[in-house]
Structure 1
Amino acid sequence: MPMGGERSIVATGVGLAVLSSDTAAAQMSFALQPQQYGIGWVAVSLGLLLATTATAALYARQRSRANMTESVLRKIIADLRARVDRAEALTASEPQIVVTFGAPGEEPEISGSLPAGMSLPSGRMVLAFERWLSSDAADNVEDRLAALLDRGESFESLVVTRKGEHVIVEGRAAGGRAVMRIKSLAGEKLALAELRTRHEEMQRELKRFQVLLDRLPQPAWLRDGEGKIAWSNTAYAATVDASGAVAIGPDILEEPARRKAAQATSSGHAFHERTPVVTHGERRVFDVFEAPHEGGSAGMAVDMTELESLRNELIRRIESHRKTLDELATGVAIFAQNQRLVFYNQAFRQLWKLDPAFLSHEPTDSSILDRLRADELLPEPPDFRAWKLQLLEAYRSVEPREHWWHLPDGRTLRVVQTPNPEGGVTYLFDDVSERINLESRYNALTRVQRETLDHLRDAVAVFGSDGRLRLHNPNFSKMWRLSDEALAAEPHATRVFDMCSRLHEPDEPWDLLRTAVTAIPETRKPVYGRIERRDGVTIDISTVPLPDGATLVTFSDVTAAISVERALTERNEALETAGLLKSNFVKHVSYELRAPLTNVIGFAQLLADPSTGSLNERQREYAGHVLDSSAGLYAIINDILDLTTIDAGTMELDLSNVDIKTAVNAAVEGISGRLAPGMTLDIQIPPGIGSFIADEKRVRQVLFNLLSNAIGFSPEDKPVKLSAERADGKIYFRVTDQGPGMDAEQIAKAFDRFESRTEGSRHRGVGLGLSIVRSFVELHGGWVEIDSTPGKGTTVTCIFPTGGSGPRGGAAI
């Protein structure tokens, strides 16, 4: 009991004694006066006296006990003070922080300190464990402290501060209170704690490595000094077909590889070899590495089967890519990180005309550029050194770079530098000279097309595959009176034709145009039509499907053309009527002339006949002239009649088997009378030439006309040549003269009727001979060719089919 309590008890006893003595005196005084108060009062007074006496005795006894208790308490207090002094002395002798926790809600008492220089905070901040401990250590201490405060569980933890200082945190329950001490370590205790911490870390690290090795997909193992498997992971067990991780079991290496590994590790060297291993009944390739260590060796194997397959596949792909790149027209050159050439294709070598021997030495990028510059193959920039350094910057870049090189020989190259992921640069050299020329010509063509469309008299509109207006010329908007603003929005064909229909109300042509423009490209067909607007303008419409799915629509104003066409039609009808009249007239006149001409010829022959009477020389000459002129006129009339029959389409051929040699001889006999003195005929007919199907009369007439022309144009001292030839199922008749020849213009007019050329010749025909020849030959299904050179003569060739394929009648020429 404290000293204040003892003083209170003593003071209370003294007060009670004083109170009892005063009361007793009063009672005695009251008892001594019985006559005054009576006997009752005396009895009461005696009772009070006895009570007072008993109380005094009790007080004395309690006081004695209190004195004894006080003496005992003083001894306890002294003992406690001694203990406290010893505890304070003990606490002060060891650097530590003591934290005493009282009843819940009371502030903890913190005393003591740690050596100077330690990183722990002072005061209540020492309870903020996360400030000076790692998160895991702080959580651990807080959990243990909570268990101490809640359940009185003692604890002791060795922790390391954030700065690496070793501290012991311990907690105990004492005297109904919780006490936590934080002590620093020094000397042997510190060394022991450090060893303990390091040991725990090594144990944890070893555990992590064991877990890691056991979970590795690659087999791993440890051998003892005798070379036997002392430990292996799960992958090892799976590889050797064991049920789980084994301490001693089958060896992953076959005997030859195991001996090599033992020899290498026993001599202190590592063993590394790629060797086959049979696992799960399949032979696979493993990369095995085994290194010696004290008391044995450690090894690991990596399954390289897939990697080998991928490597072989990569090699095949690289070779395939090389072959593919060699086929490219684009030059490709790949430089490694050290700027040396590691690959090039044939297009690169041919582009720069580089020697394969030079390229085989893997030259650097810079040396190749210098060589190309020396060969005057590169562009000539003002500062070549700076230009080359700029190119070589690609080795330090991550983005592709594009350059345009204009070479001295006029070519243009597009050069792309692409950084490789593993270092180095890939060059692509694309010769775009042709493309640039094509683009230039395309742009020029587009401008010409645009200008052409803009200046066309026809209205033109182009609709895309989606049916929208893509292109139109000014005449389109002008013809249909459409505003440029309405057409600038590229309206759909439906909208455009709706706007055009205001000038032409019937829907039929517009429906056809809509179908032509919006139909599926595979089903589109050209559309042609003619419409007449309300204002009297006649327009021809046509559509043309374009290859890209678009449709070209043209509108041609043919109002004037129709008027001209009508006039021409009327004129043509008039000309045809006039021509018919002319043909009828000529035919009629020719027939009418033949009768009197026949009489003239008959009487002239009669006069020339000696039997009718003798004539003198001059008379006979005159009669001969009459016969010759009459015969010429008769031939002209016959030619005119033949042409009239051909024009009328009523000429019929009398086809038969014509002997070629006989037909030639007949023509020669008929023309022999027209040969000038000294002129000869050179006839070349191969023996056995045979015959062909034709009209013999017309064949003789063709040959006669050809010979007549040739004789008329040949000099008197030069021969005229006639030849016949069978080849390729055809008969070729050729008549050649050595006359003045013809130029191209004269050849073009040679077959025209009444086209006669008399300059430099004795020929005086009316110009119907060759026209008759071509008509008869074409009636037979053949044709006529003229080969002539001015001053060197002319060759006319008539080609007849041997089968007589010409019409038998009714042929119209």
Structure 2
Amino acid sequence: MELSPIVLVLIGLLLAAWTAAAAWLMLAASARARGAETARKASRRMARMIDEAPAIPLVVRTDGRIEGSERLAGWFGLDKLPQFLSELVGGQGKGLSQDQVITLTEHVRRAQKTAAPFRMALTVPGSQRSLAVRGALADPQVFPGGAALLWIFDFSESENELARLRADAARARGDFAALVGLIEAAPLPMWFRGPDARLKLVNGAYVRAVGGESAEAVVAGQVELIEAVEGLTAAQVAAQAAEQRQPVERVVATTIDGQRRSMRVSDLPLGDEGVAGYAVDIEETEEQARALRAFRDAQRQMLDQLGVGVAQFDADHRLGFANQPFRRTFSMRPGVGEGLEFERFMRESREAGRTPEVRDFPAWRKERIEWFSADDAIEENWPLGDGTHLRIVAQPMPDGSLVLIAEDRTEQLALAATRDTLLRTRTATFDSLFEALAVFAPDGHMQLWNRRFPSVWGIDPDEMDGHPTAEQLVALIAPNLDNPKQAQGIGEVVRGATLDRKQTGGRVALADGRTLEVAGVPLPDGNGLLTVLDITDSQMAEDALRQRNKALEAADEVKTRFLANMSYEFRTPLTSIGGFAELLESGAAGELTDQGREYVAAIIESVQRLTAQVENVLDLSQSEAGLLPISKQRIDLLPFVTKVVRDREAAIVDGGLSLDLRGGASAKISADERQLGRAIGQLLDNAISATPKGGKILVDLSRRKDGVRIVVSDNGSGMTRAELSRALDGLQSDVDGNLERRQGLGIPLTRQLVEAHGGTLDIVSRKGEGTTASIFIP
């Protein structure tokens, strides 16, 4: 069928439209495909960027379901991310703790309900990871339905750095506090000035040094510790140190607590902050330096007084000091002083003839220079041409210096020669003595003996040539003794003189009838001297004296009986006379006239004095005969002596004297009250009678380790040595120089009474100065 052209046109148009539509669809599909690919690429890039981002998002839905990256599971220490928020709780070092999940859940629910954002920090248990959580309600366009969007940041490195910074800050604060405390507790004044050189900070030592009330008051008043020196104040010096940016140190004198002290002041610039300063008290150091200089000068003056020459050369071999004996020994010129080289010193000494004559002097001098590096002291003897003999000691010091000591031994050698002569003289003297002598060493060997020694003992002189020991000598002597057992006693005498250092002796009888006196004497050199004397003649005289002694003992018994009878015969009449006189004084025989009373009083006084003299004579006689009765008992010394002094109170007052009694109340003594009281009373009576009006008497009691001491002293007329000797014998010189018996035998009786107690009496007197009597009783 034939189509009309219109139909064909329409069909063509329809086909063209269809083709155009298909082309457009193909182009649109291609564009959408390219857009979808671009979106997928952008989505992948975004997902990769989110995965690589420092923060990872976490969506928490209203039912607790969570959505997030698996990388977040590694942050939480989990193998994979759980589905619900409550499942973040792990165990055995994985996940979050129960308290952390509960807290996070509460924050999430609050954000879902109120849209309030929140922040919190999480530390994964068992790890060093620190997480920061920022949460808020999610955009409905992103996560509809009220979900919460959490951004989780890993700030472990920041937290570690922050922790380190906090620790550094805490340590810095601690160090600063310690530094401030150290400065405050420092014993030396310290301060700090600002850029304007004004005080801003001072420590307690500064406040005490300036006498301020507090640090604030000192800073407010700008009280300076250091005074102005040469017109510059301490602030001006600190300003100069800040300008020069160099520390300034100086020694100045300042007043602290009213005393002038030397201080070493230091100003230390601290950049633009200011200037710090401190002051060190060097007064003691300065005093020590002055003392050291004084000691050095005194030491040098002392060395100048020695007879030994001393010189010191320093490490550079130069003379530092030489005393006057050293200069005289080596004939050093007056102008030569410190700084003289050792080589030059040796050369000049050789020129002056003060060194030994040697063939090669340079080599000899070189060997002496090596003394400076020697390890030990070196000693040499230098014989000089003029006959002088020097002993040289070179002592190297650790610092490389050398001390040279020169001793002139010329006189010592002469003395040694004289000693040899004396030894030969001693040997000759030994051989000429009448006594037999032998010297034994501490080991018992005979060292020296005279010719008479072997002949006295009757032994062969050739036996002495081998220097026998004491035991060998005893074996040689024993056969010649009347009693051979006495030979051991001779060995004990030698032993006592050599080893025990005691002087012992004895007598031995020989078989030929002779008697020998043996004595061992320790010598100062440690040896022992054995002396032997033939006393046969004196022994016979002793026997005669012994017979006479028996006769004297019989006479002494007669004297004893006489003293016993005379004691009764003397005391009985005196007692009767005194009793009748007292009866007359009391009026028993009638009223007496005034003149009669005077006679009776004189009789009573004379009877008392005569009774005292009789008792003194009898006691002295009994003491010399060994018959004085002593009945000792324990007494307190101070009350006892006080009573003796009180008994003489009237005499002391009448004489216008003052008495001072001193002593401790704890001293006790075992003595006879009556006899000791008489001894002390005699000394007090003598002191009272010998002291003029206005004089003083001292009684001092003291306790010693081995007894007590009683001292009675006065400032009276005193006695000469001859007068004291007569007083000890019971005699005293009168005014005209004639000897008279003074109150019986007071001082001899006192001495006898004291010695009867086992004590001693010492009397010291000087004419015109007084007398001191000292009693010591063990």
What TM bracket, shorter-length normalisation? Answer: 0.3 to 0.5
Q: Which has the larger radius of gyration?
A: 1
**TM-score after normalising by structure 2:** 0.44
